[in-house]
């Protein structure tokens, strides 16, 4: 995940069944060298081992790396200086010509919580992005009050189309047959041809409702909650017959379902819009997240040095819900200063490419002095200060 953030090639990514589009790391096509420093202990817990970290840093220098990203840390207990073996090794690597990007730590928001306080290498705080990647917005065409309606996709039938915006004429089930509002009985052939069937929950399994709608010609099915269920969202299972259904279907809350029924009552040409293009939602960007460690460092060093995106970062190699090696084959979102540091490492690689003779101190200065410093806020909407964002 961190390697692809720093140097991932340009790819077309799909995440959670959603076409995200083209993404890449900060320095695509950079050469990546990986050094193992985390191992499982005898009790099965993974951890960072100082001896392995020191050996890796020595190898990194000898192998001629231009930049090293460090998405690890031990918390604000690092002493720094000559009494801290890892801090000394990181400083020595920096002085030997390897640009060192170090995550500031996730012990915030209190002051004095940064990790590895050396004034030489760069320490990176975490800022927010636009939120989590998501898809699946449902709305009523032309009605601004009925947009971005939450829903849950069914676990049977065709999966929702990826990366598309599709419009369906909607037809509430009670307008077809008031006695069959729950869709538990078959409708007349062609009753929903080319339309999205809007069906109330209750009386029978979800699979029965969707299959009956499909057999009556529906192209899509929307089930809204019963009075007892309210606005809770339910992941619809197939039951006994749902696996026979081939159309896509979703479940929405009762308030939104009744609102669509009311919209149809005003205009029989009402259409619903299913949007499965990827989007980000849920966060305001350029906020220093609460968990990001704050300065000063041990010895009152001015840390962190810079902030970079570290919240809901989408990259390859962190697949949610996967096990074994499958974890590393897909895309996932993760948060932490461990996600912020590789952004700076990638940026340093680009500066090194453009200015191969610059010493590390110049690269660090260039990154810090050209970073955005206006309109950056803390999680509580107070203006971010140097000990928050660098």
pLDDT tens by residue, 342-371: 999 999 999 999 999 999 999 999 999 999
Beta bridge partners of 281: 132
For 136-277, CATH number out of 3.50.30.30, 1.25.40.10, 3.40.50.300, 3.60.20.10 equals: 3.50.30.30
CB contact at 8 A, 303 and 297:
yes
d(CA 156, CA 296): 54
Q: What is the mean pLDDT of residues 330-342?
A: 86
pTM of the model: 0.67
Q: Which of 368, 365, 318, 353 is nearest to 339 (CA)?
A: 318
d(CA 230, CA 252): 10
Check pLDDT > 90 for residue 329.
no
Report DSSP letters for 236-253, one per residue. Answer: ---TTTGGG--SEEEEE-
> Which token pair is 241?
């017959």
CB contact at 8 A, 75 and 105:
yes
Question: Which carries the bigger pLDDT value, residue 316 or residue 247?
Answer: 247
**Whole-number pLDDT of residue 74:** 62
**Whole-number pLDDT of residue 377:** 79
Domain with CATH 3.50.30.30 in the chain: 136-277
Indicate the SS3 state at residue 62: helix
Summarised one tens digit per residue, pLDDT across range 138-185 is 899 999 899 888 888 888 898 887 678 899 999 999 999 999 999 999
Strands 306-309 and 122-127: parallel
CB atoms within 10 A of CB 269: 9
> Which token pair is 83?
């009494």
Domain with CATH 3.40.50.200 in the chain: 2-130+282-389
d(CA 69, CA 340): 10
CATH for 2-130+282-389? 3.40.50.200
């Amino acid at each position: 995940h961190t390697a692809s953030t720093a140097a991932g090639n340009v790819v077309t990514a799909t995440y959670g069944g959603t076409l995200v589009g083209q993404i890449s790391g900060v320095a695509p096509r950079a050469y990546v060298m990986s050094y193992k420093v985390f191992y499982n202990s005898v009790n099965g817990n993974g951890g960072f081992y100082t001896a392995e970290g020191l050996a890796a840093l020595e190898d990194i220098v000898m192998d001629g790396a231009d930049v090293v990203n460090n998405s690890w840390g031990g918390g604000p207990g690092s002493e720094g200086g000559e009494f801290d073996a890892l801090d000394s090794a990181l400083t020595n690597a920096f002085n030997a010509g390897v640009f060192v990007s170090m995550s500031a730590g996730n012990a915030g928001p209190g002051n004095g919580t940064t990790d590895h306080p050396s004034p030489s290498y760069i320490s990176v705080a975490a800022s927010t992005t636009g939120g989590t990647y998501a898809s699946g917005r449902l709305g009523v065409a032309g009605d601004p009050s009925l947009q971005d309606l939450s829903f849950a996709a069914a676990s049977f039938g065709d999966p929702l189309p990826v990366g598309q915006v599709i419009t369906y004429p909607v037809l509430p089930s009670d307008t077809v047959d008031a006695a069959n509002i729950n869709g538990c009985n078959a409708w007349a052939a062609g009753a929903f041809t080319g339309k999205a069937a809007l069906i109330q929950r209750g009386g029978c399994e979800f699979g029965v409702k969707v299959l009956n709608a499909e057999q009556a010609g529906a192209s899509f099915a929307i089930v809204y909650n019963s009075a007892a269920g309210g606005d809770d969202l339910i992941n619809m299972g197939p039951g006994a017959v749902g696996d026979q259904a081939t159309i896509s279907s979703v479940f929405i809350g009762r308030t939104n379902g009744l609102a669509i029924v009311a919209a149809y009552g005003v205009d029989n040409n009402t259409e619903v819009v299913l949007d499965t293009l990827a989007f980000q939602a849920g966060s305001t960007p350029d906020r220093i997240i609460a968990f990001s460690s704050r300065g000063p460092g041990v010895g009152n060093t001015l840390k962190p040095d810079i902030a970079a995106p570290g919240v809901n970062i989408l990259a390859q190699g962190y697949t949610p819900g996967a096990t074994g090696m499958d974890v590393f084959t897909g895309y996932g979102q993760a948060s932490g200063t461990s996600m912020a540091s590789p952004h700076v490492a990638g940026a340093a690689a680009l500066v090194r490419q453009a200015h191969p003779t610059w010493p590390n101190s110049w690269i660090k200065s260039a990154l810090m002095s050209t970073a955005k410093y206006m309109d950056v806020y803390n999680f509580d909407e107070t203006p971010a200060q140097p000990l928050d964002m660098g």
